[in-house]
């Protein structure tokens, strides 16, 4: 449900470097402090079971489809470069974004009434996700192949020597530079998401909703310091009726006190506050990301 301190689909797909670029800063900026607790409007209704709630910072991120286009463009550029050096490089498919989890282990615990009834606090089975690494990455590779692919390396494995080329893996950056695509430094959107999440957890209105949840659970005979404690308890296998009953009570109490709706309402306010304080830098990130997506699609023949 988008509650964890993740950096969105881009981070999950390990594409931050491709989206933001490396080196010169084109105004990526740093997240500024938010100050006092922001005002909020009416608390939103509890989200539909398993639904993803859109948050303000999502508007500055690229989509999974756009991330996949950049991933494929990198693979194509790398393959062309390696072929010119006499090597066969077969890029893999873009990684599959992980499915939404029914549990927020940090603060809210279980998030799905359907999961509560079906598996209690146990996780639902997850399909295997593709790693997004090159299909050519398995097995022994010669030093010459590694040099062509990654460029010179320093003493630490996997670390490029400053001031040297990145081999064919850096070919996509050369393409972007030739297309006049800008660069930003760091992961501003991820930084702001994490800050909004942390401040939401510390907000007085969220704490009041958590206290109301505890009181509700105690009235039903369940004693936990918070939802995360209930979900992280070492519940035995297989799922028992007691576990399911506790999980259902947990979700009923969340709905009764509006805990998840309060969380999203407050988190929305913090993200809006952070956007207001970092709007110019965020717009630069968004513009550069759009440029990279357009250049990637051009490289793939779709632009």
Question: How would you label 230-254 residue by residue, b for 16+ Cβ within 10 Å and e otherwise?
Answer: bbeeebeeeeeeebbbbbebbbebb
- Tokens 């023949």 locate to 301
Q: Which two tokens stand for residue 212?
A: 């109301």
Task: List Cβ neighbours of 56 (8 Å cut-off, separation of 6 or more).
Answer: 268, 271, 272, 275
Confidence at residue 142, expressed as pLDDT on a 0 to 100 scale? 85
Confidence at residue 23, expressed as pLDDT on a 0 to 100 scale? 42
Reported as type and span, the H/E element at residue 71 is: helix 64-84
pLDDT in tens, the chain (303 residues): 455 443 333 333 334 444 555 444 445 555 555 568 999 989 999 887 767 889 999 999 988 898 999 999 999 999 999 999 999 998 888 877 666 667 888 899 999 999 999 999 987 665 554 444 444 544 567 888 988 898 886 444 444 444 456 789 888 888 888 888 888 778 999 999 999 999 999 999 999 999 999 999 999 999 999 999 999 989 999 999 999 999 999 999 999 999 999 999 999 999 999 999 999 999 999 999 999 999 999 988 865
Alpha carbons 200 and 219: distance in angstroms, whole number: 26
Confidence at residue 170, expressed as pLDDT on a 0 to 100 scale? 87
Confidence at residue 124, expressed as pLDDT on a 0 to 100 scale? 65
Alpha carbons 231 and 222: distance in angstroms, whole number: 12
**Coil/strand/helix, residue 143:** helix
Confidence at residue 16, expressed as pLDDT on a 0 to 100 scale? 43
In the chain, where are the structural domains located? 8-35+46-299
Q: Omega before 238 cis (within 30°)? A: yes
Confidence at residue 64, expressed as pLDDT on a 0 to 100 scale? 86
């Amino acid at each position: 449900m988008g509650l964890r301190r993740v950096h969105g689909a881009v981070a999950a797909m390990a594409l931050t470097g491709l989206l933001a670029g490396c080196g010169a800063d084109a105004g990526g900026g740093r997240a500024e402090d938010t100050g006092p607790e922001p005002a909020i409007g009416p608390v939103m209704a509890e989200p539909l079971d398993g639904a993803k709630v859109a948050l303000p910072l999502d508007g500055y991120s690229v989509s999974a489809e756009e991330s996949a286009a950049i991933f494929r463009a990198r693979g194509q550029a790398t393959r062309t470069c390696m072929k010119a050096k006499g090597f066969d490089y077969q890029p893999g498919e873009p990684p599959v974004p992980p499915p939404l989890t029914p549990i927020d282990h940090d603060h809210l615990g279980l998030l799905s009434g359907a999961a509560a009834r079906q598996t209690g606090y146990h996780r639902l089975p997850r399909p295997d996700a593709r790693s997004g690494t090159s299909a050519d990455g398995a097995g022994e590779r010669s030093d010459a192949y590694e040099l062509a692919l990654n460029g010179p390396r320093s003493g630490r494995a996997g670390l490029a020597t400053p001031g040297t080329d990145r081999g064919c893996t850096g070919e996509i950056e050369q393409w972007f530079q030739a297309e006049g695509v800008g660069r930003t430094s760091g992961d501003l959107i991820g930084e702001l998401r994490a800050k909004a999440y942390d401040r939401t957890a510390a907000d007085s209105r969220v704490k009041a909703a958590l206290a109301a949840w505890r009181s509700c659970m105690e009235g039903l005979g369940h004693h936990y310091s918070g939802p995360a404690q209930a979900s992280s308890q070492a519940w035995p296998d297989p799922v028992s009726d007691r576990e399911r009953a506790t999980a259902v009570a947990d979700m009923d109490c969340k709905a009764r006190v509006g805990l998840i709706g309060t969380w999203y309402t407050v988190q929305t306010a913090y993200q809006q506050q952070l956007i207001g304080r970092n709007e110019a830098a965020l717009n630069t990130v968004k513009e550069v990301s759009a440029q990279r997506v357009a250049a990637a699609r051009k490289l793939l023949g779709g632009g």
